[in-house]
Amino acid sequence: TVVDRIFSGIQPTGTPHLGNYLGAIQNWVNLQEKCSSVLYSIMDMHSLTVPKEPAVLRQNILDTTAAILACGIDPKKCFLFRQSLVPEHAELAWILGCLTNVPRLLRLPQWKMKRASQNSEGTVGLLTYPVLQAADILLYKSTRVPVGEDQVLHLELAQDIAQHFNKKYGEFFPVPKAILSHRLGGEEESDGTNGMFAKKREELGKDEALHLCCTTKKIKSLRDPSVKMSKSDPQKLATVSIADSPDEIVLKFRKAVTDFTSEVTYDPAARPGVSNLVSIHAAVTGLSIKEVLHQATGLDTAHYKMVVAESVIQKFTPIRNEIKKLQEDKSHLIKVLEDGAEKAKELAAPIYQEIRRLVGF
Ligand code: ADP
Ligand code: NA
């Protein structure tokens, strides 16, 4: 009954952290079970928008691939491939770029933010990567795209471009829709989007099966729960990699910032540190916030940190072992990505042929 085609990408930034797993990869694993046509791409071309050493990029591609395979992404249930192995992504981006106004791109907040964070005037690639994202999606006539709130505006751009193309060349692309992640616990968002994400989610309705398999919560930095856990956090011990050793995990949770109340309660606004621990505990065990709070009854926060650390160790030890195993077989990882690219190309070929014809090539 599912006619949807899902497209999603992950930047090859190496081994993912807890936030990437709970916020994205876990959803991917659920979606590949729910839908028969799912594409997951390692976005190496997008990666070039941030300056990188070639050797680092190459290694990151393999580490990211090992990690998502270890997390349960199954190349038999989805198309897992490297973006740059399907050059039609770039070719279509060119065509779509010729339908996109520069001021529209200049207005996207990511342009300003990323330029600032790179401390540069900004490259053409950084300005136009949302057009490449539109091409990533539309090359396969994808209908659904799982997005976090930072990508909502980029999906809207892809929708506009699809509609613009359809108007100019005739009805061709389906207008891709978002799959927005639900949050567990119903906490108010305090991430600077002024509730836009919550509103969008509301508009889309709560009953959609695809939304329901994306239960996500923003995981916060262990050292500063006012910001999200991120690989670019310079603070030591703030970010837990899914490949961290049990000792590292224990150390990081022991040093996690809480507050002066020893009781374990869930109140993200007043007690962000402890609440983040509760969120992580619930997410990795699959229990509800209520259930984990019940388990924590009578524990002080110091003890509770070790309970959470143990639940993280439990969850990720098999994944960590699998990552190590996969990392030892580089040629297998390369082959997975190449085989996936072959399949993706087959899917894209007739669509791209038709696009060429439509635009007059
Ligand atoms: P980072 O901030 O570490 O650079 P990315 O921006 O590359 O992470 O995000 C990759 C994916 O992981 C996105 O889908 C994003 O929504 C998700 N993600 C990243 N950090 C978190 C977090 N702290 N909590 C939940 N999801 C996250
Ligand atoms: Na599938």
Does 114 participate in catalysis according to the annotation? yes
pLDDT at 1: 42
- Residue 128: domain span: 6-218+333-359
Is 279:296 a contact under the CB 8 Å cutoff? no
Ligand 1 pocket, residue 233 CB under 6 Å: no
Q: Kindly report the protein residue whose alpha carbon is nearest to atom 19 of ligand 1.
A: 20
* Same domain for 253 and 152: no
Domain CATH number, residue 153: 3.40.50.620
Contact call for residues 237 and 223 (beta carbons, < 8 A): yes
Catalytic residue, chosen from 114, 141, 220, 305, is 114
Tell me, yes or no, whether 227 lies in a domain: no
> Which ligand is nearest to the Cα of residue 39, counting in written order?
2
105 and 134, same domain (yes or no): yes
Assess whether 305 carries a catalytic annotation.
no
- Is the interface score ipTM higher than 0.90? yes
pLDDT for 119 beyond 80: yes
Q: Are 212 and 278 in a shared domain?
A: no
Higher pLDDT, 181 or 100: 100
Concerning whether 217 is annotated as a catalytic residue, the answer is no
pLDDT at residue 151 in the model: 87
Query: How many whole angstroms from 10 Cα to the centroid of ligand 1?
Result: 10
Backbone angles phi, psi at 57, to 5 degrees: -60, -45
234 lies in some domain: no
Q: Are residues 104 and 41 in the same domain?
A: yes
**Chain centroid, CA 20 distance in Å:** 6
Q: Which atom of ligand 1 is nearest to the CA of 181?
A: 16
pTM of the entire structure? 0.90
Order the strands of the 177-180 sheet from edge to edge: 79-82, 38-42, 6-10, 144-147, 177-180
Q: How much of the chain is helix, strand and coil, in % rounded to 5?
A: 55, 10, 35
Average pLDDT over residues 39-61: 96
**Ligand 1 center–CA 228 separation, angstroms:** 8
DSSP result, 72-85:
T--TTTSEEEEGGG
Q: Into how many domains does the chain fold?
A: 2
User: How far is it, in rounded angstroms, from Cα 81 to Cα 253?
Assistant: 35
- Residues 259-270, mean pLDDT to the nearest whole number: 96
Cβ atoms of residues 13 and 60 within 8 Å:
yes
Q: From the centroid of its chain, how far is CA 185?
A: 20
Q: Which of 254, 229, 233 is CA-nearest to residue 242?
A: 229
Q: For ligand 1, atom 22, which residue shows the shortest CA distance?
A: 19
pLDDT at residue 183 above 50?
no
Closest ligand to C-alpha of residue 75 is: 2
229 lines ligand 1 (CB under 6 A): yes
Per-residue pLDDT at 186 exceeds 50: no
> With bands split at pLDDT 50, 70 and 90, how would you rate the model's confidence at 100?
very high
On the question of pLDDT at 193 being above 70, the answer is: no
**Looking at the structure, do residues 274 and 138 belong to the same domain, yes or no?**
no
Query: Are both 48 and 182 inside the same structural domain?
Result: yes
In a domain? residue 55? yes
Round to whole Å and give the CA distance between 137 and 176.
Answer: 8
Query: Is 235 within a domain?
Result: no
List the single range of 13-17, 145-149, 153-157, 207-211 with lowest mean pLDDT: 207-211
